[in-house]
Structure 1
Amino acid sequence: MSARDEYALALELLRMRAQQDFATWWAAKEQGRVTLEQLRAVFADITRDYGEVAASAAVDYLILERSLDESLAGLGFPDRADPVGFEQAVASFDWAVNTSREGGVLNSAVARRKLDGVLVRLVGAPAHETVVVNARRDGRAFARVPEPGACAFCLMLASRGAVYASRHTAGAADAGERFHDHCRCLVIECKRDGSDLPRINRDLEAAWAESGARNRAEFEKYIKLRGEVGGSPWPPLERVNVPEYAGDGTSKVFPGEPLPKDLNRAVAHVLYGWRDTPLKGGMWVKHSEDSRMGHTWDSQRAKASKFPKSWSNQKIADAVVEALENPTNALAYGQRREVWLAKEEVIIQVRYVIIRGQAKMLDAYPVDSIPKRARK
């Protein structure tokens, strides 16, 4: 078992034991042997005691993880974060209790469920803080690893990848500092280049780029919709020959970078409008070659730019691949790549992203002009 896995297991056991201890006291309250005010103080004690052990587990994890890398041998001993304070613990307790009253009467089942969630968050908080503080202190990075079945909010934070002190991505620090009740996500230390990130983080980072999201709400919506449609691959096209690259599959305008490998995806999108999420308004595009929701002359999609009627589906497919391999103009910003091809009377724009050294297709369509800032 890896140091990360052992750490994750240790935290989960601590959360469970904290909940078990609190359950014993809650039962005593239900039996009238403990008052709600006494239970309030006990709750704070439990979060403090188990929080201290959780922070120590984080220190042990950092020591073991760093011992496996000789380049980290000179780093100082990790500092342990303090558990949440009494005021924060009782404030959370009061919130859970006060929001569980119906007509002034406490709904014990609702209150208990909320307090269990609060315990999970407060016990884990000093462990997460320990990892974040030491990663920042020692010039390392940290990342949020989502638990199985994590909510869209946590998946969005996990998509931030490796976060470090000098990275000014909006909301990046939230990956290690914002947790909701019942959240069992993990904060790990990693390299600043993210090369040792778990697969889930790399996939989510790619999803963020693919989604085109401009804010958290848009990404959360994308993740939810993506979860509904599933991750099955698109079927191979049968009515059109998907072209292959004439060269070695690397870019001529961005030296050393790969071009998208899934050309079936590129052609299916531009011809038939296939996608992994619904159109605006909630309509899904079937992965069928009878769909007319792409950019052909007879497209039925509202406001879609269209190729001329004289351009056959095969000619469009060939032109998209040609634009990728031999563009007349190109533009790069961040992970995004945009290329254009002026062919006959048509200008074709193709967009893709570079994630962890891999190129992933976004879309392709005809446009009216090429931006002046796009280099030739």
Structure 2
Amino acid sequence: MAWAAVDPADEASWLRYIAQAEELCQTARTKSADTAFRYLERFRDAELKALGVTAEPLAVGAPGLSVPGELEGALSSYGPGYVNRLVANGVPLEEAKRLAMSGQIGDATGYVLRSGRKVVADGINRDRRCIGWRRVCSGAACSFCAMLASRGAIYKTEATARGSRGASLSVHGKGTAKGGEVHRACQCHMEPVYSHRSRPTPQERHYDAVWREAGGDPIQFRRLIEGRA
């Protein structure tokens, strides 16, 4: 059932829409987790081989199924209630539904990608060979993500180099490690780091140069990232 067929005044049409969206998104979440595992496995093998290390296979925990009602909770901010509020303020119904759809896409993106992010975060946390991570942005990163990426590699802690337990990487919530934060519709991912000799990537060097050009001012940095300076 397409969003266009949902009647904001008919709760049953919204529930039918959610049921179909959950089926589609659960399939996408599974693909997200599978893709993340393959990425992590191949990237780790290539990086450790370059360091001359033959490492044991990495065991990564499955992200698990979504909680019942989780997707509806994620999309409800842009559901019928949102549409009705816009219409009550004079926005035409079709335009209100278009705006709602845009919001839903952002929330659904985060919902789907979260399972893949959990796989990578779990791999980073469990892997004793991994000493940290770096943020890799999409081609159209917002200034928040670009600022975090400009910091380069984030190490678990200095204690990691001595073999003791360091900081862990989470994908959301207050426990999120510095540099691992994500926002709704964020398309960044975390890339494992296996050596303190790891050099900044071209993307990190670019964002760092922009940060320096902005004089460390977040507002000016945003203007430069958005091409408004």
TM-score when normalising by structure 1? 0.46
Q: How does 1:63-142 map to 2 (within 5 A)?
A: 63-68=41-46, 69-70=48-49, 71=53, 73-82=55-64, 84-97=66-79, 98-101=81-84, 102=86, 103=88, 107-139=96-128, 140=130, 141-142=132-133
Distance 1:85 1:156, change over 3 A: farther
Residues in 1 aligned to 2:83 and 2:179: alpha-carbon distance in whole angstroms: 29
Q: How does 1:232-247 map to 2 (within 5 A)?
A: none
Which residue, out of 27, 30, 33, partners 1:55?
33
Residues in 2 aligned to 1:151 and 1:174: alpha-carbon distance in whole angstroms: 17
Higher strand share: 1
Which range moved further: 97-106 or 56-65?
97-106
The one-character-per-residue Cα deviations of 1:9-52 (angstroms, maximum 9, x if unpaired) are: xxxxxxxxxxxxxxx6325547x9x7111212332333322112
2:75–2:108: 8 Å Cα contact kept in structure 1?
no
Which range moved further: 56-65 or 189-198?
189-198
Aligned residue number for residue 223 of structure 1: 221
Residues in 1 aligned to 2:71 and 2:135: alpha-carbon distance in whole angstroms: 24
Aligned residue number for residue 144 of structure 2: 153
2:109–2:184: 8 Å Cα contact kept in structure 1?
no
Which residue, out of 169, 188, 200, partners 1:185?
188
SS at match of 2:134: strand
Q: Could you list the runs of 5+ residues in structure 2 that have no partner in the other structure? A: 159-166, 168-174
Residues in 2 aligned to 1:192 and 1:73: alpha-carbon distance in whole angstroms: 14
> Taking every aligned residue pair, what percent have the same amino acid on both sides?
22
The one-character-per-residue Cα deviations of 1:302-326 (angstroms, maximum 9, x if unpaired) are: xxxxxxxxxxxxxxxxxxxxxxxxx
Which residue, out of 14, 26, 37, partners 2:3?
26
Give, in angstroms, the shift of residue 172 of structure 1.
7.8
Aligned residue number for residue 290 of structure 1: none
Residues in 2 aligned to 1:229 and 1:41: alpha-carbon distance in whole angstroms: 41
Distance 1:174 1:180, change over 3 A: farther
1:161–1:194: 8 Å Cα contact kept in structure 2?
no
Give, in angstroms, the shift of residue 122 of structure 1.
1.2
2:182–2:188: 8 Å Cα contact kept in structure 1?
no
The one-character-per-residue Cα deviations of 1:258-304 (angstroms, maximum 9, x if unpaired) are: xxxxxxxxxxxxxxxxxxx8xxxxxxxxxxxxxxxxxxxxxxxxxxx
Aligned residue number for residue 206 of structure 2: 203
Q: Could you list the runs of 5+ residues in structure 1 that have no partner in the other structure? A: 1-23, 231-276, 278-376
Say what the alpha-carbon RMSD is for the aligned residues. 3.2
What residue identity is the alignment partner of 1:153? F
The one-character-per-residue Cα deviations of 1:82-123 (angstroms, maximum 9, x if unpaired) are: 354333321111111133332189622111111111121111
Larger Rg over CA atoms: 1
Residues in 2 aligned to 1:117 and 1:228: alpha-carbon distance in whole angstroms: 19
Q: How does 1:292-311 map to 2 (within 5 A)?
A: none
What residue identity is the alignment partner of 1:36? W
Runs of 4+ in 1 over 6 A off after TM superposition: none
Aligned length: 198
Aligned residue number for residue 36 of structure 1: 14
TM-score when normalising by structure 2? 0.71
Aligned residue number for residue 144 of structure 1: 135
What residue identity is the alignment partner of 2:183? F
What residue identity is the alignment partner of 1:165? K
Aligned residue number for residue 173 of structure 1: 177
Higher helix share: 2
